[in-house]
Structure 1
Amino acid sequence: MAAPDPLSYFDREDEVERQVFAELKERFIAEASPRHVQELPNFTFALIKPGCYARGLAPEVIRRLKSAGFKIVDYRIARFTPEVIDEVYKFVKLKYVNSWWIMEKVYTTSPTVALLLKGNPGTSEHLAWRLREILGPTTPDAGRPGQIRYDLKGVNRVLNLVHAS
């Protein structure tokens, strides 16, 4: 059986996402070494959202990620500008253009914690997909016990504690 394509993470079915992720893939290939390309399935990005930070839940999220085998390679605590919000969410902004104004309101309330994570993807092809399983669905109430967004009472799709990519 052939090894999975490390760049398959960028393959998307949704038309809007496909365009954005194709651009990201081109940028990654242009800047990454062959070793970085091979290591891609073992890395992912998570963003502890301002609501989670304001509720004092960031340490618990980090504890749960570490106990699930994720290693924090790097992190930054920052307040997002509207430009950064647009860049992080550009793959979904067009889908929610009528309600996009709320993102700026939410992301300027408190800092975020950006996490670069490394780990074993396990049975998933990429660590990002394993992270999504641990976090649970974007809508927290659709999750189940043991998933971070469900257990820590994420409120809705916007106030769901953690962004994963």
Structure 2
Amino acid sequence: MLRYGILFLSILFASSFDVSAAAISAIQSDLAVLRLCNASSPVSLQAVNSVLINRDMKSSETQTQDFKCFLLCLYVEYGWMDREGGFSLHHIKLTLESSKLPEYRIKKLIYSCTATEITDPCERAFNFTECFWSHSDKETSPEAEIPEKEVSDNQNGFYYIN
């Protein structure tokens, strides 16, 4: 079901707008990631839309272990997390910088949303997503003090809070 919904949306999107070849390639790449993650942790199109479009983390479909592991898979594929639940702060920061968010908001999002003591990787991905959506629209003062995290590097560029 998700496969057909994604295919339909991509065809509709590409045919409705003047989309460059690079944009189409990026869309195809994103669709491949969605298909890969849906194969390992099947979720409905409604659950994906609920979170990615509507930012609704409260529906019963988004509370399942499959959905939480689907999110982990997405973050692993995009380089934001590893399979053990470690966050790649550098990759998260690079992606957020490309979104044109002010630096102080990026730091606040990273600090707030990666500071978790949850150990289950899928739960960490879900918690990160919940936090990200709840903080992404909140205005943060540039003067807001953001304490530095003490992190350890596991030699792969992934960081774990000590």
- TM-score tier after normalising by the smaller chain length: 0.3 to 0.5
Flag the structure with larger Rg. Answer: 2
Normalised TM-score (structure 1): 0.32
Normalised TM-score (structure 2): 0.32
Q: Which has the higher contact order (CA 8 A, sep 6+)?
A: 1
Higher helix share: 2
Higher strand share: 1
